[in-house]
Amino acid sequence: MAGVLFEDIFDVKDMDPEGKKFDRGDKFRLVVASTLREDGYPDDGEWNPNDSSSSRADSFEYVMYGRIYKIEGDDGTGDATRLAAYVSFGGLLMRLQGDPNNLHGFEIDKPVYLLMKKLAF
């Protein structure tokens, strides 16, 4: 999909009694995208409730807008074997760590959308 920087399906294995209410075995889909437009073209970063055009957000239950503020690699010499991208969603922080090939579209100061939905299976 155009504009998608990261996508995965997660299984809930442990639960935080103080946090979001998930049941053990629940699955959810998480997508980090650079735009909400299905065609991958950049959007203007503003939401208009009167806009009738379809959006990537229409297929998700939860959407947040944030900005990448830091990217760091391994402290070892040579090419990094792991990268970590840090995103701030208005103070709610996310660290996404993984293989550099999976995080190649992440750039500092780039706006991103985090989209989530619970899967029924």
Beta-carbon contacts of 78 under 8 Å, excluding residues fewer than 6 positions away, are none
Residue 45, classed as helix, strand or coil, is: coil
pLDDT-based confidence at residue 121 (cuts at 50, 70, 90):
low
Q: What does the angle CA 72 – CA 41 – CA 97 come to, to the nearest 5 degrees? A: 20
Residue 61 Cα distances to 11, 28, 57, angstroms:
17, 10, 8
- pLDDT tens digits along 47-83: 777 777 778 888 999 999 999 999 998 665 556 688 9
List the domains of the chain with CATH numbers: 4-119 (2.40.50.140)
pTM for the whole structure = 0.81
